[in-house]
Amino acid sequence: MADTAFSGKSVPIKPKLSNDDWIMRGAMILIGLVLIIAIILPLYAMLSKSFEDSDGNFIGLANYVEYFSTPALFQSIYNSLSISVIATIVVLVTSFLYAYALTRTCIPFKKFFRLVAMIPLLTPSLLSGISLVYWFGNQGVAKELLFGESIYGPIGIVFGSSYWVFPHALMIVITALSIADSRLYEAADALRTSKIRTFFTVTLPGAKYGLISAGFVVFTLVFTDFGVPKVIGGNYNMLATDIYKQVIGQLNFQMGAVVSVVLLAPALLAFVLDRIVQKKQVALLSAKAVPLVPKPDAKRDMFFLGFCTLVAAVIIGMIGMAQYAALVKFWPYDLSLSLNNYNFDVMDGGGWDSFYNSIELGLWSATIGTVVIFFGAYLVQKGRGFEKGRGLFQAIAIIPLAVPGMVLGLAYIFFFNNPDNPLNFIYGTMIILVVVTITHFYTVSHLTAVTALQQMDNEFEAVSASLKAPFYKTFTRVTVPVCSPAILDISIYLFMNAMTTVSAVVFLYSSDTSLASIAVLNMDDAGDIAPAAAMAMMIAYTCLGARILHALLSRGIMKKTAAWRGR
């Protein structure tokens, strides 16, 4: 490859490259190439599609002109932006208060509240829409609370979106709030600063970067999600649902590509801004910092206990309602319980097969994805020299985070469904679903692996190398065992996301490879909303089971391989 030529000219000062170095570089270039095929080329294909007519002729900006002159489509940009901004504010406030309660107060049941807050991660975003129909729909049990307003529309979208992105924001804010130097608060106390002033001058600035980051995450997730608006949006169109409508409803791929570009732009912008802001962050904790231990304060703790109970009740109410509705025979006229709604085989969406397909996809993504991603991160982190190549790899690995699942899925159609593409054969198979899932969730897994590897002293490699142990021995005997908690984290992350994602796979499944999350979507579409809820809950239980298994495994492995950490 390219670097062979490069080595021929290598300047004498450079240390001689060992076989190991060559193998590692080769492997890294290989994984890098796979990444380029999995992300860069499809995106390029999509971009160029947006400049073509349906016969594939280049027509410049004509599609964009048509898009921006169709008021119904154009309106969606405004709708998407306003919904995302409102949901971001709602989620930031809620997650800040919730995180504050968990980190800075002395309320009881912290562990319980923390676990409950993670529940939305177990299901596709569609579930929150479905639950809202049962709570506040025209036959909803609590529709009076809306005072005549319809849940179908902006109210439902904001509520549903806030529900499912809440844990994503909460995790970031908790991390931000956990880092605090108690000396600052002591100083504030000594100066008799009011509590409110301390809050605005010490607490908030300390959590500033976390909040900004959480804000960008929430905005992007809501902006690009289509599960919630699909189910509960009624006549309120958003960008993500427009792509869907153009591509699935009318097979207008060119317009789908245009909307994708429109959707991609703000997501990319948010991503870039976030990275710039994060660069500015400086270490808050010096070595001399004293961790903050919250002191009891009856009034404050009472308030936060109430608040957390309320939020937890809403979360449990949402998922509980979905399970209840799934068991009801014929809502709302026959509330007796039955398992009829689990008879998926007589409904749209692919039946029970789709559920087993989802598990298969989850296992493949978790195993292959973890191996590839971790090994890739290892090569980037522990390789020697070749700075440019490693830098480039790192940059490509970050891109998937900025690309909405739906955009990636559509890009895959354009790229892989092209008969001239030698990889065309994976189209319509389980393979393409595995590839798109791993790619879509690549970045977070990659960063997890990098963080774990960074914590490992480079001396390990140096010592092994001097003992003439080949790198793969060090890798399997030292690196992997030491990083096993991170490896497990990556695999559970990939598994759960493979189970719940809709947007990345919705354009790519075939009748043989229908998935549980897609079945939820299609059953809801056909009006079979209770079976849709039943399938969504099957996903939830599967993820929960995987989570528990993960916890047990982690504990076992930690005991076995990480005894040294205790020292």
Partner 1 sequence: MTAMKKIALGLIGAASAAVITSAALAETLTVYTAVEAEDLKKYAAEFNKQNPDIKIKWVRDSTGVVTAKLLAEKDNPQADVVWGLAATSLMKLKAEGMLEPYAPAGVEKLEGSFVDSSNPPSWTGMDAWVAAVCVNTVEAEAKGLPIPSSWKDLTKPVYKGHVAMPNPASSGTGFLDVSSWLQMFGEEGGWKFMDELHQNIAWYTHSGSKPCKQAASGEVPIGVSFAFRGAKSKAKGAPLEIVVPTEGVGWDMEATAIVKGTKKLEAAQKLVDFTVTKEANEMYNKGYAVVAYPGVAKPVEHFPENLSAAMINNDFEWAAVNRDKILAEWKNRYDSKSEPK
Q: Which residues form the interface with partner 1 (CB under 8 A)?
A: 71-72, 75, 133, 137-139, 152, 226, 229-230, 233-235, 237-238, 241-242, 244-245, 248-251, 330-334, 345-349, 360, 363-364, 367, 371, 419, 476, 480-481, 510-512, 525-529
Distance, CA of 19 to CA of 3 (rounded, Å): 14
**Could you tell me how far CA 307 lies from the centroid of its own chain?**
26
Decide whether 31 or 487 has the Cβ nearer to partner 1: 487
Distance, CA of 527 to CA of 511 (rounded, Å): 20
CB of 249 to partner 1, least distance (A): 5
DSSP string for residues in 418-448: -TT-GGGGGTTSHHHHHHHHHHHTHHHHHHH
CB of 226 to partner 1, least distance (A): 7
CB of 370 to partner 1, least distance (A): 9
CB of 529 to partner 1, least distance (A): 8
Decide whether 133 or 380 has the Cβ nearer to partner 1: 133
Contact 157, 83 (CB under 8 A): yes
Decide whether 203 or 517 has the Cβ nearer to partner 1: 517
CB of 527 to partner 1, least distance (A): 3
Burial degree of 345 (CB within 10 A; 0-12, 13-18, 19+): exposed
Decide whether 104 or 230 has the Cβ nearer to partner 1: 230
Q: Please give the helix or strand (H or E) that residue 335 lies within, else none.
A: strand 334-337
CB of 402 to partner 1, least distance (A): 24
CB of 378 to partner 1, least distance (A): 14
Token pair for 15? 């240390």
CB of 422 to partner 1, least distance (A): 16
Q: Extract long-range pairs of 7-11: CB within 8 Å, 24+ residues apart.
A: none
Decide whether 137 or 389 has the Cβ nearer to partner 1: 137
Token pair for 429? 């198979």
CB of 515 to partner 1, least distance (A): 15
CB of 221 to partner 1, least distance (A): 18
Decide whether 211 or 487 has the Cβ nearer to partner 1: 487
Omega prior to 71 cis, within 30 of 0: no
What share of residues in the chain are helix, strand, coil (percent, to 5)? 75, 0, 25
Contact 376, 195 (CB under 8 A): no
- Which alpha helices (H) appear in 286-426, and where do they start and end? 298-327, 351-382, 387-398, 405-416
Amino acid of residue 351: G
Residue 59, classed as helix, strand or coil, is coil
Per the listing, tokens 């002033």 go with 197
Contact 267, 257 (CB under 8 A): no
CB of 532 to partner 1, least distance (A): 11
Decide whether 202 or 456 has the Cβ nearer to partner 1: 456
Nearest to 119 by CA among 340, 307, 311, 365: 311
Nearest to 400 by CA among 367, 446, 361, 368: 446
What are the φ and ψ backbone dihedral angles of 403, each rounded to 5 degrees? -105, 120
Decide whether 152 or 163 has the Cβ nearer to partner 1: 152
Distance, CA of 435 to CA of 36 (rounded, Å): 12
Decide whether 151 or 207 has the Cβ nearer to partner 1: 151
Q: Please give the helix or strand (H or E) that residue 337 lies within, else none.
A: strand 334-337
Contact 492, 546 (CB under 8 A): yes
Decide whether 141 or 305 has the Cβ nearer to partner 1: 141
Can you name the residues that pair with 181 across neighbouring β-strands?
A: 291
Decide whether 271 or 495 has the Cβ nearer to partner 1: 495
Decide whether 213 or 479 has the Cβ nearer to partner 1: 479
Distance, CA of 302 to CA of 288 (rounded, Å): 33
- Length of the chain equals 567
Distance, CA of 185 to CA of 195 (rounded, Å): 10
Decide whether 62 or 557 has the Cβ nearer to partner 1: 557
CB of 165 to partner 1, least distance (A): 19
CB of 137 to partner 1, least distance (A): 6
Contact 110, 503 (CB under 8 A): no
Decide whether 346 or 467 has the Cβ nearer to partner 1: 346
Burial degree of 546 (CB within 10 A; 0-12, 13-18, 19+): buried
CB of 219 to partner 1, least distance (A): 20
